[in-house]
Amino acid sequence: MTGPSVFGASSSGSSPSGYSWSKTWRNLWNIFGILLVVASAWFLWPTSLGGRTQFVIVHGNSMEPLFHNGDLLYTRQSSDYSVDDVAVYSIPDGDPGGGSLVVHRISAIDGQGRFTLTGDNRQTADAAHPELEDMVARPVRNLGQIPTRLIILTPLILSLILGAAVAWFLWPQPNPPFPPPESQKPKDTIEEETVAGEEMSTAKKRELASIV
């Protein structure tokens, strides 16, 4: 006699199609994670490691109201600068303040490729005239003053956390954390534990006798 035919998947096993979809979504999620890591590295890789990104903190009020003192700028390297562009440049060596970074607006470019920059809040141009090799980056986004404050407070916050952890670890415990072994316990304590054990065994024997 032929048994009943069974159509579809068994209730005790997993569906092959469901497993296939789960595996597909897992692979897509892994690919998305890899792409996210690559994109983050491309946007955040610093110039000191061969990247094109640099974070610059604004000092002073020469670019107000566009930038304020303490703003953190996300900048990217560029090879093309035009008049009216805001740029970050390094003061050429030999000029006063050589090597310092300045964020100003390009007001002119002469025939030899030298730049003249001026702060939006200033009437006179900068004394330095950087060339293309001195141009560091172009600001892309102003992240504001909160990230700068967090960066300044980070050492203090870490010190407080470390100090609290050390204090908690070294704080004296009410009871010794490492009790002595049995051989080093006082004799009266060992005798009390032995008597207590004997009393407990006697009580158990009485309970068993009453049950029988």
User: What are the sequence ranges of the domains in the chain?
Assistant: 53-144, 182-211
Report yes or no: 100 and 90 within 8 Å, Cβ to Cβ: yes
Question: How many CA atoms, within 13 angstroms, populate the side-chain half-sphere of residue 84?
Answer: 0
pLDDT tens-digit map of 120-160: 999 999 999 999 999 999 999 998 888 777 766 666 666 77
Query: Is-above-0.85 flag for pTM?
Result: no
- What's the DSSP call for residue 39? H
Give the CATH number of domain 53-144; options: 2.40.50.100, 1.10.150.130, 2.10.109.10, 3.10.129.10: 2.10.109.10
**Closest residue by Cα to residue 127 from 138, 119, 137, 135:** 119
pLDDT tens-digit map of 72-110: 999 998 889 999 999 999 999 888 888 899 999 999 999
Query: Would you state the structure tokens that stand for residue 146, as one six-digit string?
Result: 């909160």
